């Protein structure tokens, strides 16, 4: 029977570490990290995420602001907001909450954020640095997964890691971080033989967005299973991408959904913003 990986507790620890470093930074340099979240329009899920991010920023002692333009804002007007934030010395981290309205090119907006202030780690410059193995701001969700692995004493070096999903925000950066940690990494997608690949893995990271796609019986006994999936079911509950009840019979460690990876994403956003401030 697997031990549960308590993402809430680890995230609280990360926030406490950030808070302690913020206090030191205030004392030594008189510097208060600042995070601005840009939320366009009234997407209800975005509102919930942004509220969580602002609350965490306040808790760790950051200055935090929200830019909340109307849904009808033009791309140029949004670029002007980003330009202003790029130039504002009090703002160390800028986060553009996705999705943006359809008439706005998200890639263009993300690329306009100064890479040094790219708290989400999505800028092409930071993605490139990650693939080159150079220090940079890291995408928060996979960065959080690496911390969870560390917390349970799972060193990826020499292990077979399978990442299911190849999105730019989770799957791909996850694979690169595991590779950098010396795992032997396989990235799976719709054309992969999931049962075979997952069955070989010492570490499974599922980031697909299909409830219970990864069957418990596929899991290699003793594997560490990290479930990034957050699928809202018709009854309102959240379900992961892994068949949790059966997988936990075989895994050594497993993340629950909710309460696993989810809380880590916001905690690592705080870490990134602090690092961005320290680098100024």
For ligand NAD, the binding residues (CB under 6 A) are 141, 164-167, 169-171, 188-190, 194, 207-210, 213, 228-231, 261-262, 265
Given 53, 117, 159, 220, the catalytic residue? 53
How far apart CA 158 and CA 182 sit, in angstroms, is 6
Q: Which is nearer to ligand NAD, 99 or 222 (CB)?
A: 99
Q: Which is nearer to ligand NAD, 85 or 265 (CB)?
A: 265
Would residue 24 show up in a list of annotated catalytic residues for this protein? no
Provide the minimum distance between the beta carbon of 167 and ligand NAD in the complex, in angstroms, as a whole number: 3
Would residue 76 show up in a list of annotated catalytic residues for this protein? no
CB-based closest residue to ligand NAD: 167
Hey, what's the torsion of the CAs at 15, 18, 19, 20, to 10 degrees?
Answer: 130
Provide the minimum distance between the beta carbon of 207 and ligand NAD in the complex, in angstroms, as a whole number: 4
Of 220, 121, 113, 222, the residue nearest 172 (C-alpha): 121
How far apart CA 142 and CA 205 sit, in angstroms, is 9
Given 6, 117, 118, 120, the catalytic residue? 120
Residues sharing a CB contact under 8 Å with residue 46, sequence separation 6 or more, in sequence order: 39, 97, 98, 99
DSSP 57-102: HHHTT-EEEEE---TT--HHHHHHHHHHHHH-TT--EEEEPSPPPT
Would residue 120 show up in a list of annotated catalytic residues for this protein? yes
Q: Give catalytic residue positions.
A: 53, 97, 120
């Amino acid at each position: 029977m697997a031990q549960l990986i308590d993402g809430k507790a680890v995230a609280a620890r990360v926030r406490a570490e950030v808070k302690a470093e913020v206090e030191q930074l205030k004392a030594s340099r008189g510097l208060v990290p600042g995070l601005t979240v840009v939320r366009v329009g009234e997407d209800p899920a975005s509102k919930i995420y942004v509220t969580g991010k602002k609350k965490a920023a306040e808790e760790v002692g950051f200055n935090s602001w929200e830019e909340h333009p109307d849904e009808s804002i033009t791309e140029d007007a949004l670029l002007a907001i980003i330009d202003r934030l790029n130039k504002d010395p009090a703002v160390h981290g800028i986060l553009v909450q996705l999705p943006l309205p359809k008439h706005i090119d998200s890639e263009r907006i993300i690329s306009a954020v100064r890479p040094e202030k790219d708290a989400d780690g999505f800028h092409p410059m930071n993605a490139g640095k990650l693939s080159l193995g150079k220090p940079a701001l890291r995408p928060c969700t996979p960065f959080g997964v690496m911390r969870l692995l560390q917390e349970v004493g799972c060193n990826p070096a020499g292990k077979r890691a399978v990442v299911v999903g190849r999105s730019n925000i989770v799957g791909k950066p996850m694979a690169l971080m595991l590779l950098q940690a010396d795992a032997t990494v396989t990235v799976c997608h719709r054309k992969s033989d999931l049962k075979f690949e997952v069955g070989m893995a010492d570490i499974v990271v599922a980031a697909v967005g299909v409830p219970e796609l990864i069957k418990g019986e596929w899991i290699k006994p003793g594997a560490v299973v990290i479930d990034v999936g957050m699928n809202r079911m018709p009854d309102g509950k959240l379900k992961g991408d892994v068949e949790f009840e059966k997988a936990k019979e075989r895994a050594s460690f497993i993340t629950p959904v909710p309460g696993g990876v989810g809380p880590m994403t916001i905690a690592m956003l705080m870490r990134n913003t602090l690092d961005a401030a320290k680098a100024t």
